[in-house]
A and B are shown apart, each in its own frame.
Chain A
Amino acid sequence: MTNSARSITAPLFLETIMSLRAGNEVLLSGVVYTARDAAHKRMYDLIAAGGRDGLPFEFEGAAVYYAGPSPTPPGRIIGAIGPTTSGRMDAYSPLLIKNGLRVMIGKGIRGREVMEAIAEYKGIYFAALGGAAALMARAVKSAELIAFEDLGAEAVRRLCVEDMPLVVAADCYGGCVYGP
């Protein structure tokens, strides 16, 4: 990260979200939850069936990290943990955003529906550096498996992170860092 990176803390609420613009560099500390394809499908199905009670964490203010770490070697906190491609979550994200999830971390382009939901519900989408998974593991200070254990690498984990380097990829004003 360059010197312009701003430190922010999760959970992340409206005031901070509205103060960030696409292209801003941030260092994120606090709590983030991992969830990728299979966990998204389960959360989506729970909400679609009207069963929000079974959701693995409170959506309000929560930051979800699209990541499935490699196994944790003995004596370490977590394995390699870079972002996965966010576009695969596009089928599920709009419903999750409508139900209170505002903060997403991944890599790559989002579909139009997700971009519109981010603008409408004042959300934010951060890009982590794809493939920098060993480096990202050093930002993780604790990790706890909290739901969907049967999904293995795709289970939901509660991470405490410190100075996780991110770039605002999509802001709540419709701005996007990935130009044409």
Chain B
Amino acid sequence: MCVEANRVINRDILSALEAAAGSETKPGAKNVLSLLMENAKVAVEDSLPICQDTGMAVVFVEIGQDTRVTGGGLYDAINQGVREGYETGYLRKSIVSDPIARVNTGDNTPAVIHCRIVPGSRLKITVAPKGFGSENMSAVKMLKPSDGIAGVKAFVLETVKNAGPNPCPPLIVGVGLGGTFEKCALLAKTALIRRLGERNPNEYWARFETEMLEAVNSLNIGPAGLGGRTTALAVHAEVYPTHIAGLPAAVNIGCHVTRHKEAEL
């Protein structure tokens, strides 16, 4: 799953790039988009990762409450999968064991694992390798309730604007709102793995996504930050109840591949 996620661009994202290339009027922007699609093709032909930053392995696990994992620890198994995938797939090992000492762990472990217990007996695993060109441009802000929707919109726009060309646009913009400090960040991350074209089921938030995409695409950052309409392919918002005193907001930026593969056992 690590290897496939890194080599094969998801169909929905490729379609969005194609559509964007068709609607861009600036030759430079069109050209960048066609090079990105060419790159995706070459990655498969040459058995190379789409991007040299093959990321930190973020793994979402949905585990049915009736499921029983036997023969060892689930987290150990996931890390072993990451270890083998990154080694046999010639993926870059980008993880350091300590944020200050910075010694490479040599096998791209540990993964960042988010586990959720769900009804039933299934086990669903989503591997989402996250590159840090885009991760570094993400932000969390504890807004005040009085900041309201205008404050949220301003924060999203400010984050995308500050990111500029750095996170390899066109982007997928994941917005997390509500919950607590860590919950909104996780919501924003989850928003990145939603399939393009799917909208928030709540009509208010679906409209927010459409409006924010329009606003982001009016910033003229464009593909590769060289100007144009296509700064983002999508804005996805995930929302959760929060405290009477708070309005936590997070923006997680995904690059033009925003890799993820899922499998269900």
CB contacts under 8 Å to A, within B7-37, are 27-28, 31-32, 35-36
Residues of B within 8 A of A38 (CB): 102
CB-based contact A81/B52 at 8 Å:
yes
Any B CB within 8 A of the CB of A68: yes
Contact with A along B62-93 (1 / 0, CB 8 A): 00000000000000000000000000001111
A47-91 vs B, Cβ < 8 Å mask (1 yes, 0 no): 000000000000000000001111111001001111011010000
Task: State the Cβ distance, A21 to closest chain B Cβ, in Å.
Answer: 14
Query: What is the size, in residues, of chain B's interface with A at 8 Å between Cβ atoms?
Result: 41
Task: List the A side residues contacting B28 at CB < 8 Å.
Answer: 2
Q: Tell me the complex Cα distance, A9–B38, Å.
A: 25
Q: Any chain A CB within 8 A of the CB of B123?
A: no
- Find out whether the CB atom of B27 lies under 8 angstroms from the CB atom of A82: no
Interface size counted on chain A using CB atoms at 8 A? 38
Stretch binding the partner chain, chosen from A11-19, A94-102, A115-123, A134-142: A134-142
B165 / chain A contacts, CB cutoff of 8 Å: 107-109, 127, 130, 178
Report the minimal beta-carbon distance from B140 to chain A, rounded to whole angstroms: 20
Quick check: is A131 within 8 A (CB to CB) of the other chain? yes
How many angstroms between the C-alpha atoms of A179 and B220 in the bound complex? 9
- Interface residue B256 (Cβ < 8 Å from any Cβ of A): yes
Known: A129-B35, A133-B39, A134-B46. A70 touches B226 (CB 8 A): no
In the complex, what's the smallest C-beta–C-beta distance from B206 to chain A, in angstroms? Answer: 29
CB distance from A135 to the nearest CB of B (A): 4
Question: Which B residues lie within 8 Å of A138 (CB)?
Answer: 42, 46
Please indicate the chain A residues that have their CB under 8 angstroms from the CB of B27 in the complex: 2
Q: Does B232 contact A (CB under 8 A)?
A: no
Residues on the B chain within 8 Å of A85, using CB: 133, 136, 166
> Of all chain B residues, which has the CB nearest A1?
B31
Contact A68 to B224, CB < 8 A, known contacts A73-B47, A131-B36, A152-B104: no
**Which residues of A come within 8 Å of B, CB atoms?**
1-2, 38, 67-73, 76, 79-82, 84-85, 87, 107-109, 127, 129-135, 137-138, 152-153, 165, 167, 177-179
